[in-house]
Structure 1
Amino acid sequence: MARRCIFCTIARGEEPKTTLLHEDERFVAFQDRSPGAPHHYLIIPKEHIGNPATLTNKDIPLVESLAEVGNKVLQEQGGNMEDKRLGFHWPPFNSINHLHLHVLSPTSQMGFLSRLIYRPAFYFVTVDSLLQRLQAMPVDQPVAPSSTPQQPPATKPEGEQ
């Protein structure tokens, strides 16, 4: 039996232990079950989207909307808007394979372990960093290269047409 995605269950409102702090037609937001900061929220799309490495430059509006909802929730919950971090864990360091934005504040009050887990690095990318990657890529190419090596196109010897 295949495992069900817990974030899809939450997005459908079928997880009684999770209180939604925000819900609209595209996203839901809720408190992280293991908060890394006094304010630690997860913003997820209702549609199942794997992880940030599967995104293409067509997903720039999606990432911007996730950040917009994250900032709105943080402000509504009384978080410090000047001392915050918004980002995504990068595979294979993501715990759930459903795109989710971490919103943390105040970062100055995060403990030692949380500072490591949620610091901008190869395993945790900020919204700004992800947007830069998406803007720099060719159309429809995922951020992460395919795990299958691509063969270069066949070329004809010089002089052949």
Structure 2
Amino acid sequence: MAAAAAAAEVEAEVPVLDPAPAPARREGETEASPAATAAAAGVEFNKKCIFCKIGNKEESVDLLHWDEQFACFRDIRPGAPHHYLVVPRKHIVNCKSLKKEHVSVVQKMVNIGENVLQQSGIDDLADVRLGFHWPPFCTIAHLHLHVLAPASQMRFISRMIYRPNSYWFITVDQLIKKLMSLPDN
């Protein structure tokens, strides 16, 4: 039943917010919060989810990337010298709730992660680990891509936590392969 509810939450690709200008404010009115703006534009936002709050600027975090669909920020428990999380601003439970049509969402998350690494001075993208924790091994119930670099400098425990294609961590390539093998809707 929980799986059906999770799958129901992820029916369409992450929507793009309407870039139309905000209406003029009246005297004494305050600017609408990013979460309220996102909600008005039809983006699902879970008020209890920390990653929804971060992605919609309800929590004070140093955002390395932010756009209509995604946010990127540093992991609070880094497993590598550079450890970033890329999250969709729309609340998506985890990678098991994705469907075949979400391959482009995953690819966009990867592009953002790689761009943030390059902006941080990481040029060797071959020494990078990109992936997702596989349910039930997710500490936050919001889809998030781990971007770790250099992977060669990860300590032993991090190499175990982010071990490629284990029971608890799946690489981007493996996830895309799984999604592509799903039937069309």
TM more than 0.5: yes
Once the two structures are TM-superposed, the CA of residue 115 in structure 1 deviates from its matched residue by: 0.3
Quick one: distance in 2 between partners of 1:5 and 1:97?
Answer: 8
TM-score (norm 1): 0.83
Classify the secondary structure of the residue corresponding to 2:64: strand
Aligned length: 138
Of the candidates 145, 151, 169, which is equivalent to residue 107 of structure 1? 151
Q: What is the match of residue 21 of structure 1?
A: 64
Q: Cα RMSD between the aligned structures?
A: 1.3
- The runs of at least 4 aligned residues of structure 1 exceeding 2 Å deviation read none
Quick one: distance in 1 between partners of 2:79 and 2:94?
Answer: 20
Quick one: distance in 2 between partners of 1:94 and 1:78?
Answer: 29
1:44-84 deviation per Cα after TM superposition (whole angstroms, max 9, x unaligned): 00000000000010101111111111111111111242200
Q: Which has the higher contact order (CA 8 A, sep 6+)?
A: 1
1:6-64 deviation per Cα after TM superposition (whole angstroms, max 9, x unaligned): 00110111212x10000111100000000000000000000000000000101011111
Of the candidates 77, 81, 88, which is equivalent to residue 45 of structure 1? 88
Structure 1 gaps, min length 5: 141-161
Quick one: distance in 2 between partners of 1:97 and 1:34?
Answer: 17
Quick one: distance in 1 between partners of 2:120 and 2:58?
Answer: 23
Q: What is the match of residue 169 of structure 2?
A: 124
Quick one: distance in 2 between partners of 1:63 and 1:25?
Answer: 15
Q: What is the match of residue 81 of structure 1?
A: 125
For the pair shown, the structure with the greater C-alpha radius of gyration is 1
TM-score (norm 2): 0.72
Quick one: distance in 2 between partners of 1:71 and 1:4?
Answer: 29
Going by fraction, where is helix more abundant, 1 or 2? 2
